Amino acid sequence: MSVNESSASRSFSRDLRLLSAESYKNVFAKAQRFGNHSFTVLVRTNDLSHPRLGLAISKKCAKRAVDRNRIKRIFRESFRNHQHKLPNVDIIAMCKPNAVALNKGEMRKQIDTQWYFIKKKYARLKAAAK
């Protein structure tokens, strides 16, 4: 973290979240799909100056509430730490059943890999648009 970046700028404030059903529908309707064997991340560009995160962790994926909450907490933490490096996109994170078996370190590694691919893809698209 640089000197100019305060800890408050790394928060997960309300404007960094997908809040309405309409926002979720918008992303589901026309999304780029990124994923691996544990997670699927849907991404769509937005007109804002920052990325937003939405979570859709289902009971089908994680039966117990404690497991769903753990996955959401780790996703939020990772997003909070990477938000300044991500392009202006809306993101919906979903999991697959084997995500529950991952420990925190493995889960973070897989999520961070998804952020890397999103940054790479959107940097390429931005360069092609110029």
For residue 9, the model assigns a pLDDT of 62
What CA–CA distance (Å, rounded) separates 5 from 85? 13
Which residues are registered as beta bridge partners of 55?
93
Q: What is the pTM (predicted TM-score) of this model?
A: 0.85
Nearest to residue 40, comparing CAs of 108, 96, 98? 96
Domains of the chain (ranges, CATH numbers): 35-124 (3.30.230.10)
List, for residues 59-100, the tens digit of each pLDDT value.
999 999 999 999 999 999 999 999 999 999 999 999 999 999
Instruction: Give the up-direction half-sphere exposure of residue 49: CA atoms within 13 A in the CB hemisphere.
Output: 0
55: which 2 tokens?
A: 């979570």
